A and B are shown apart, each in its own frame.
Chain A
Amino acid sequence: MKKLNIVILSSIFLVLLFVLGIYLYKTQQAKNLDFMARENASIFVRDYSQTLGSDDAKVYLIKFSDPACETCSAFHPFVKKLMAVNPGKIKLVLRYAPFHDGSDYFVKILEAAKKQGKYWETLDIMYRTQGHWASHNNPQPQLIWRFLPRAGLDLDRIRKDMNDPEIEKIIKQDLADAETLNVRKTPGFFVNGKPLASFGYQQLQNLVESEINEKY
């Protein structure tokens, strides 16, 4: 039947066009980011950015994250494991993309904890207890204060330090960089400026490993 063939061929053509579009768009994106990584590395790592791992590491893993985001929390131990498996080779850079309503609040607590030298401890506690204070249908941000003492924090100091206008600036700058880098969902990963093209644990591991193989 001739008409049927026309429709089938058109369908195939449209789908191929779609796939080609995906390919072209992703290549173009990768090129743009590569350019930015070389020309303007500070988009990925700001001076104030919190980092973990050796300064000699040649693989920079940039994570745009939100303390209230479940997937960020789920990825946290995985990233730590990746770093433990490749000691000294990976440097984790944590950037903020507080897309959830009211997430700024938690970023402020985190930045205040930095002043007490308990940044990563606090982040661990936050992610571990996230289900209690960041549930989507019933967020109760105040509950977080119950868990913070576990990180060994001076809560009175946190309450004072978290209102520092500098933190507001950090959040703004990170959000601006996230927009430049096209991060619209969290966590957003970049490895040495290369974006995680398709999202997943295995994909992240592959990207990190391919960068390690290239640099070491």
Chain B
Amino acid sequence: MTDSERTSSSNWTIIFLCWIIAAVSTLGSLFFSEIMEFAPCALCWYQRIFMFPLVLIFLAGLFPSDKNIIKYALPLALIGWGFAFYHYLLYSGFIPESIQPCSQGVSCSQTYLDLFGFLTIPMLSLISFSTIIVLLFILKRKISK
């Protein structure tokens, strides 16, 4: 294997990992809403809006391995991360409930799930978006080298 082949193969792996994370997050959120029937609150919907398309974007970027993927995926991931971070602050009580935007319908601060005592749904979302962003920045650095 030549050096350039090795780099392109590891670039592919990074995009592949991003795709896996997006796919797992998408299926996971569908599981919560469709199978466990937790109604998604407004903030959850915004995060979904930025997570769901990433599955297709990363998939398209895999064949053939496309460095331009950063340009398309990073804005989505960053905005999604913003919503996830806000939701996380709301959930964990850093932002008082009185200023939350979704008082009607489904509450954004009601805890539905508490895995192992610390993992909540907004936290899972925040972890997914953060990991995707970190991976994309690693890819960016590797390409610019």
Give A residues with C-beta under 8 Å from B.
Answer: 3-4, 6-7, 10-11, 14-15, 17-18, 21-22, 25-26, 182, 184-185
Contacts and interface: CB of A to CB of B under 8 A. Distances in A.
23 contacts: A3-B12, A3-B16, A3-B62, A3-B63, A4-B63, A7-B16, A7-B19, A7-B59, A7-B62, A10-B20, A11-B23, A14-B23, A14-B27, A17-B27, A18-B27, A18-B30, A18-B31, A25-B31, A25-B35, A25-B36, A26-B35, A184-B37, A185-B37
A22 B37 CA distance: 12
A18 B26 CA distance: 11
B37 A182 contact: yes
Contacts of A22: 31, 35
Nearest to A1: B63
A6 B23 CA distance: 14
**Interface of B, helix, strand, loop or mixed by DSSP:** helix
B27 A6 contact: no
The prevalent SS among residues of A at the interface is helix
Interface in B1-28: 12, 16, 19-20, 23-24, 27
A11 to B, nearest CB: 8
B57 interface: no
A21 B35 contact: yes
B39 interface: yes
Contacts of B20: 10, 14
